Amino acid sequence: MPAVAETIDTVRDVTEAGYKWGFESDIEQDIIPKGLDEDVVRLISDKKAEPAWLLEWRLKAFRAWQAMEAPHWAAVSYPPIDFQEASYYAAPRQTVAPKSLDEIDPELLRTYEKLGIPLKEQERLAGVAVDAVFDSVSVATTFKDKLAEKGVIFCAFSEAVHNHPELVKKYLGSVVPAGDNFYAALNSAVFSDGSFVYIPKGVRCPMELSTYFRINARNTGQFERTLIVAEEGSSVSYLEGCTAPMRDENQLHAAVVELVALDEASIKYSTVQNWYPGDAQGRGGIYNFVTKRGACRGAKSKISWTQVETGSAITWKYPSCILQGEGSVGEFYSVAITNNRQQADTGTKMIHLGKDTSSTIVSKGISAGFGQNTYRGLVRIMPKAHNARNFTQCDSLLIGDKCGAHTVPYIESRNPTAKIEHEATTSRIAEDQLFYCRQRGLSEEEAVGLIVNGFCREVLAVLPMEFAVEAQKLLAISLEGSVG
């Protein structure tokens, strides 16, 4: 079956009711006791047999974190998190590291199959290499050999620490410093795994790279770290997907993603975020507190963030670009949906440092039920950024009369040659639009799906095809029951 049809079918299978990724896999796990102190940080580092420099780096981050306070400026509300109540490491129990997919616990493979992510290469999505992260560790990475022929490194972060320490040491924390913010510091102290990507000079990565994150264990947080380095003249498209079981308690996901693009390199980073959003009353769901940042270090480099955020109880996330290289380009395309009691405070930061840098921000926020959706974005033009350009478009769509949409743009220009445009709209799905669709035979939910997809088209259009189909269906599912 062609990959796209497979994706459609998979998604259709899971669309029949509510959140269908909410199952729990029965897998023997290695979970460390609850609580967080320096010993836990040492234990995690020890479990990963890490070099001393990395342990030191973690400890530094941990000490910084201890002195920090959780941020309160976002327009989200939740009870204080007791960081001693979670466990900071969970891994499927496996005595010997698997050398091939045949050695992986079949239950684990089945979990990913259920999610529509077949890890066996002969069944994989066409042209996509997958790194599967289960709770805290990377369990499988497909197509490694094929990628290695081109010199592309795509592996678990912990593996990169051992096999490519010089690269990790050079770039880790170079975009998001260990003490950058509360959650980034926490991640730096306790991160367990994630993905590492290195694209050598002049190489166009021959396939899409993808990481699929799955939280399974109870009372654990997930703290993964992704580092992507694109050398001069190289390019890569990276996809990220995530789901979690349905649970009554909240779980914390605090990831850090760092991107580095050198001269004329381009990185496209796409996310379909579908963490469990909690139930209609707002019980349970993932707290998604994530720091994502890309550095366009080289001239004419380009970093493009595309995100479709349908999940999580709370989303706190601002994928950003530091536009340092002359003529570098930053893009942020986002769709964020909040339904029921979901809250999202998301946006981007575009920091223009270099000459002739340009950035584009297209944000589509959709609020339904009691959802609260905030776009928060910063465009900063520094004194040396001559002829910098920014275009921002923020559109909000409201469904029902109990939800909220908020737009909080910050614009700071310290260079008179800058051109900054900001457009914002807020609209509702009108009764006449729904009736028009229904008169043509579409159900109310199909009509909402269609109108919402139309509203998001500029963002969906830039998603890789594999994700676009899934994203369109997800939008419809996320809004089920939001009208009427």
Q: Which residues bind another protein (CB under 8 A)?
A: 430-433, 435-444, 446, 450-451, 453-457
State phi, psi for 323 to the nearest 5 degrees. -95, 90
Query: Cβ atoms within 10 A of the Cβ of 444, count?
Result: 14
With beta carbons less than 8 A apart as the criterion, state whether 217 and 87 touch.
Answer: yes
Q: Which is nearer to another protein, 163 or 425 (CB)?
A: 425
CA–CA separation, 370 and 254 (whole Å):
25
Q: Which is nearer to another protein, 207 or 469 (CB)?
A: 469
Amino acid 414 reads R
Q: Which is nearer to another protein, 299 or 462 (CB)?
A: 462
Buried b vs exposed e over 235-245: b needs ≥16 C-beta within 10 Å? bbbbbbbbbbb
Q: Which is nearer to another protein, 53 or 435 (CB)?
A: 435
Q: Which is nearer to another protein, 66 or 425 (CB)?
A: 425
With beta carbons less than 8 A apart as the criterion, state whether 301 and 325 touch.
Answer: yes
Per-residue tokens: 398: 């409201």
State phi, psi for 369 to the nearest 5 degrees. 55, -125
| Least separation in angstroms between CB 379 and another protein | 25
Per-residue tokens: 254: 């605090």
With beta carbons less than 8 A apart as the criterion, state whether 195 and 154 touch.
Answer: yes
| Least separation in angstroms between CB 437 and another protein | 8
Q: Which is nearer to another protein, 105 or 444 (CB)?
A: 444
| Least separation in angstroms between CB 1 and another protein | 15
Q: Which is nearer to another protein, 318 or 455 (CB)?
A: 455
Beta bridge pairs of residue 296: 261, 323
Beta bridge pairs of residue 259: 228, 294
Q: Which is nearer to another protein, 306 or 343 (CB)?
A: 306
| Least separation in angstroms between CB 315 and another protein | 23
Helix 431-439, helix 444-455: angle, nearest 10: 120
Per-residue tokens: 71: 């941020």
Per-residue tokens: 128: 């996509």
With beta carbons less than 8 A apart as the criterion, state whether 407 and 394 touch.
Answer: yes
| Least separation in angstroms between CB 365 and another protein | 15
CA–CA separation, 367 and 155 (whole Å):
37
Three-class SS state of 159 = helix
| Least separation in angstroms between CB 484 and another protein | 10
Query: Cβ atoms within 10 A of the Cβ of 1, count?
Result: 9
CA–CA separation, 462 and 456 (whole Å):
11
Q: Which is nearer to another protein, 232 or 444 (CB)?
A: 444
| Least separation in angstroms between CB 325 and another protein | 34
| Least separation in angstroms between CB 399 and another protein | 15
Q: Give 151's Cβ-side CA count (13 Å radius).
A: 11
State phi, psi for 92 to the nearest 5 degrees. -60, 135
Q: Which is nearer to another protein, 30 or 445 (CB)?
A: 445
| Least separation in angstroms between CB 61 and another protein | 43
Q: Which is nearer to another protein, 105 or 445 (CB)?
A: 445
Buried b vs exposed e over 451-460: b needs ≥16 C-beta within 10 Å? bbbebbeebb
| Least separation in angstroms between CB 458 and another protein | 8
Beta bridge pairs of residue 405: 373
| Least separation in angstroms between CB 398 and another protein | 15
CA–CA separation, 166 and 231 (whole Å):
15
| Least separation in angstroms between CB 16 and another protein | 15
CA–CA separation, 315 and 313 (whole Å):
7
Q: Which is nearer to another protein, 82 or 431 (CB)?
A: 431
CA–CA separation, 254 and 193 (whole Å):
12
